[in-house]
Amino acid sequence: MSMTYLYDTTLRDGTQGEGVNFSVDDKLRIVQRLDDFGMHYIEGGWPGSNPKDAEFFQRAAGLHMKHARISAFGSTRRANSRVEDDAQIRMLLDARTPVVTMVAKTSRLHVTHVLETDLEENLDMIADSVAYFKKKGREIMHDAEHFFDGYKLDREYALATLRAAHDAGADWLVLCDTNGGTMPWEVAEIVRATVAELGTDAGMRFGIHTHNDSGLAVANALEAIRTGCTQIQATINGYGERVGNCNMIESIANLRLKLSDDCVNDQQLRGLSDLSHYVAEMANLAPNIRAPYVGQAAFAHKGGIHVAAILKLEESYQHIDPARVGNQKRVLVSELSGRGNIAWKAREFGLDPDKDEVKHVLAQIKEMENQGFFFEGADASVELMLRRTQPSYTLPFELLDFMVLVENRQGRGLLAEANVKVKVHGEISHTAAEGDGPVNALDRALRKALLPHYPQLAAVRLTDYKVRILDGNHATAAATRVTIDSRDDHRTWTTVGASTNIVDASWRALADSLEYAML
């Protein structure tokens, strides 16, 4: 089996993505997590670009690394100057990392129009910079920026820049699709030709660095690995400039599971979902639920035919066992469900309903979704429906009526008051409470009636409240769906309500939430 080296650039290239920002402490924690996972290289940032990265490298020098080697990123020396006099080169040296990654211009277009120097001087800049750091004992990553575009523009010059880096001692030649516009078949052809042209030289090793502007970054990276590269540069969750970089999570999964690559072992692979979610949390970004392999929806089954099939043979609608990447199979309940979906959810909840009960709940769900309910993300409401079909289940309370008033009182501003009448254990309780709004007032009044009988409700907190208008053409008369997230000291759950009256929709979701808390 082959082994691809994993080079993570989340902390440098990933932070160039819109909305991505890490503190120094965040970066240090991510380094430790990536090292624990088994990453081979971790690029920490550009020491000369900002004070934060300078502080990071100062503190990172004291880290004890088990697997990874930390790299500092920079560029070759400036044109028409001595490498020893270049301030940016000195900052790279002062970062004291075992690896230095230097970006260099490969396309003659960039040399003449961006660097505004001549082609020979660019080759000297590459050679001087690489040789300088090799004399200092560093491992050198030569990032050939715009390599694929440069190769298509002037093949001989693009290859000459690689030879200059290699002859000066570069350990890796990393081929970059910087603009993200190259197609997979072009990547395969160019990498194959480049390796054939240069790869016979002793010690020549190639890496690949792709961007996702055409939605092909992972596919391009895999083609490069198949045709001669042995290092992949990528970011966790594909964070990066413009639409992002090659996604390291997807790359690792595909390398290991589809190409039988030894980049990680099976135990490390099982930590893939946790790693993806950890970095998303550090970035304060919501995880992509549809992310391949690690997303919440990656192995979610909704259609009745699909669920019926996986009940007989799981691989019928799953390309891998989700446990291999630390994920799990999920069965969703909706108007598209069949009896298999409901039976599966019942077993998930520890229930064993008969066929008639399953059929009854399925019909109820289809009718309620037609009214505006949406049960995919509201497992607690689904579980309650199933439990209510059980002969042994007793409703913990029964709503008799409620009234909510919202007033604008002089001197006090807006005021909401709710009156609730419920039956608990055969007794009728009539309570009232004020709140910041109608739902808050309802919640307080209902708890006031229920707490003497169910003290565990004191630990229940509403953590989120979402409202969606279902048919905007009806304006203020539109049907409304309300979703409530709740938690106590041990668990979280979600309930749903729908009605043309927002207070009624809220009441249904709220009542389900408190009833579920009593299970």
What does the alpha-carbon distance between residue 513 and residue 188 come to, in Å, rounded to a whole number? Answer: 55
Per-residue exposure over 490-502, b if at least 16 CB sit within 10 Å of its own CB, e if not? eeebbbbbbbeeb
For residue 410, the model assigns a pLDDT of: 72
For residue 98, the model assigns a pLDDT of: 96
For residue 519, the model assigns a pLDDT of: 80
Number of domains in the chain: 3
Kindly give the confidence (pLDDT) of every residue in the chain, 519 residues in length, as a single tens digit, with 9 standing for 90 and above.
689 999 999 999 999 999 999 999 999 999 999 999 999 999 999 997 778 888 999 999 989 999 999 999 999 999 999 999 999 999 999 999 999 999 999 988 888 898 788 999 999 999 999 999 999 999 999 999 999 999 999 999 999 999 999 999 999 999 999 999 999 999 999 999 999 988 766 678 999 999 999 999 999 999 999 999 999 999 999 999 999 999 999 999 999 999 999 999 999 999 999 999 999 989 988 889 899 999 888 887 777 677 677 667 677 878 888 899 998 876 666 556 667 776 776 677 777 777 777 787 778 777 777 777 777 777 888 888 788 888 888 888 888 888 998 888 777 778 889 999 999 988 899 999 988 888 889 989 999 999 999 999 999 998 888 888 776 555 555 678 888 898 988 888 888 888 888 888 888 889 889 988 888
Q: Would you call 104 helix, strand, or coil by DSSP?
A: strand
Neighbours of 115 (CB within 10 A): 17
What does the alpha-carbon distance between residue 309 and residue 319 come to, in Å, rounded to a whole number? Answer: 14
Which residues does residue 70 pair with via DSSP β-bridges, in sequence order? 42
One domain for residues 102 and 158:
yes
Written as six digits, the tokens of 81 are: 């100057």
Q: Is residue 141 part of a domain?
A: yes
| Closest CA relative to residue 37, chosen from 176, 216, 236, 209 | 236
With 0-12 / 13-18 / 19 or more C-beta atoms within 10 angstroms meaning exposed / middle / buried, residue 168 is: buried
One domain for residues 99 and 236:
yes
Strands (E), 326-477: 330-331, 398-409, 413-424, 427-435, 461-469
Kind of pairing between the strands at 99-105 and 139-145: parallel
Give Cβ neighbours of residue 130 (< 8 Å, ≥ 6 apart): 102, 140, 142, 164, 165, 168, 169, 170
One domain for residues 377 and 467:
no
Helix (H) or strand (E) segment spanning residue 11: none
Judge whether 100 and 133 are in contact, CB under 8 Å. Answer: yes
Vertex 118, ends 115 and 123: CA angle to 5°?
Answer: 90
Task: Give the range of the structural domain holding residue 13, as residue numbers without chain letter.
Answer: 5-264
Of 240, 264, 288, the residue at which a domain comes to its end is 264
| Closest CA relative to residue 31, chosen from 68, 4, 83, 6 | 68
One domain for residues 379 and 410:
no
One domain for residues 18 and 156:
yes
Phi, psi of 500 (to 5 degrees): -75, -10
| pTM (whole model) above 0.85 | no
Of 370, 388, 406, the residue at which a domain comes to its end is 388
CATH number at residue 455: 3.30.160.270
For residue 335, the model assigns a pLDDT of: 57
Q: Is residue 275 part of a domain?
A: no
One domain for residues 323 and 212:
no
CATH number at residue 204: 3.20.20.70
One domain for residues 352 and 405:
no
One domain for residues 488 and 408:
yes
For residue 388, the model assigns a pLDDT of: 84
Helix (H) or strand (E) segment spanning residue 109: helix 108-110
Judge whether 148 and 125 are in contact, CB under 8 Å. Answer: no
Phi, psi of 416 (to 5 degrees): -115, 135
One domain for residues 429 and 506:
yes
For residue 472, the model assigns a pLDDT of: 55
One domain for residues 335 and 200:
no
Written as six digits, the tokens of 491 are: 């668990």
Q: Is residue 269 part of a domain?
A: no
Give, in order, the Cα–Cα distances in Å from 504 to each of 109, 382, 468, 479, 509: 65, 19, 14, 11, 9
One domain for residues 20 and 102:
yes
